[in-house]
Amino acid sequence: MALEDAKTQVDQAFTRETSRGASFENTFGGATSFLRRRYTKDLAGYDLAVTGVPFDQAVTNRTGTRFGPRAIREASTLQPYDPPYGWDYDPLEELAIADYGDLAFDYAKVWEFPAALEAHVAGILDAGCGCITLGGDHSITLPILRAHAKKHGPLAYIQFDAHTDTWVDDDAERIDHGTFAYKAVKEGLIDVTHAVQVGIRTVNPDTMGIQIVDAPEVHDIGPQAVAQMVRERVGDRPCYLSFDIDGLDPAFAPGTGTPVWGGLSSAQAAAILRGLAGINLVGGDVVEVSPPFDHAGITAVAGAHVAMELICLWGAGRRG
């Protein structure tokens, strides 16, 4: 069946007739939507929307994450043939997933960007869909959190990262990928008593009350213990998960703007994410994939797998 489908399926980003199911389109051909899902702005009948935010004008070092959504979509074409390994269900069969395309914004009016992104995500949520976002630099998480908090109230929060991103920034007009978490706490978007950051390995004395599970601790106690700690921290509250790809060691994710050695392996990250099954995930993102600094698409592949895990987590929390 797969071989026969491969002979006929092409450009399923536009031609697929169903919102569910595997895709056997040739990996190396066709238009590259995320997981070969259909591009659409009409979310009627869909459960979940994946959207891209090609913004990187808030970085402190190397730019390039504006190309992240495109690269992640391309890398994702390796995945829609089979159910994701390690899960007890197939989200592509059970969930109606749309590729909602990218956010449109005026790159020359950076100050207008946060409101545009917040409205973009709010439109997805108002349509009754969950939202998984492909970034983009980490500053994009703040407007996304604003949209989710308006719907759900203060959120439980999980962040995979080399950096806490809680550097002090009380200037409301600044847009900075290293200060978004500080502002999110100050604005009451996340409940720090139910917030945790995993993989941290840079110095920032003020964690804003967020629990830190740094990279050495992950290496020491193992991913299963970390997953249990995170589950206990977030409880059953509506939860948002943000995955900065630099949470992975540069050996596993070289294509990022601020790499730091000593990070998580892709295997550790996968085990932790799968160990979170059952949390009440309401949204998530994968950010800081920077293709100009990638090698053989390693980082984009990692980003595509993280996005799939977020989809699996979102769906697992709603099964039964």
The answer to whether position 243 is within a domain reads: yes
Q: pLDDT digit string (tens) for 291-308?
A: 999 999 999 999 999 999
Q: Average model confidence (pLDDT) for the chain? A: 96
Q: pLDDT digit string (tens) for 263-274?
A: 999 999 999 999
In angstroms, the Cα distances linking 138 to 154, 157, 171, 295 are: 19, 15, 17, 21
Q: Which of 119, 159, 165, 161 is nearest to 143 (CA)?
A: 119
Phi/psi of residue 134, each to 5°? -105, 120
Q: Which domain holds residue 159?
A: 51-63+104-316
pTM attached to this predicted model: 0.97
Tokens of 126: 């108002």
For residue 320, is pLDDT > 70?
Answer: no
Whether residue 138 is annotated as binding a ligand: the answer is: yes
The answer to whether position 232 is within a domain reads: yes
Whether residue 177 is annotated as binding a ligand: the answer is: no
* Cβ(262)–Cβ(216) below 8 Å: yes
Average pLDDT (44-60) is 97
* Cα gap 308→288, rounded to integer Å: 16
Domain count, the chain: 1
The answer to whether position 57 is within a domain reads: yes
User: Which of 98-112, 169-183, 271-285 bottoms out in mean pLDDT, i.e. has the lowest?
Assistant: 169-183
Name the amino acid, one letter, at 246.
Answer: D
Which of the four pLDDT bands, split at 50, 70 and 90, describes residue 5?
Answer: confident
Q: pLDDT digit string (tens) for 19-49?
A: 999 999 999 999 999 999 999 999 999 999 9
DSSP code for 177:
T
* Cα gap 85→48, rounded to integer Å: 20
Which of the four pLDDT bands, split at 50, 70 and 90, describes residue 97?
Answer: very high
Average pLDDT (77-103) is 97
Whether residue 163 is annotated as binding a ligand: the answer is: yes
* Cα gap 36→318, rounded to integer Å: 23
Average pLDDT (249-255) is 98
Which residue matches tokens 């504006």? 66
For residue 3, is pLDDT > 70?
Answer: no
The answer to whether position 190 is within a domain reads: yes
Task: Give pLDDT, residue 172.
Answer: 86
* Cα gap 263→250, rounded to integer Å: 7
278 preceded by a cis bond (ω within 30 of 0)? no
Q: pLDDT digit string (tens) for 105-141?
A: 999 999 999 999 999 999 999 999 999 999 999 999 9
Q: Could you tell me the CATH number of the domain that includes residue 226?
A: 3.40.800.10
The answer to whether position 129 is within a domain reads: yes
Task: Give pLDDT, residue 6.
Answer: 77
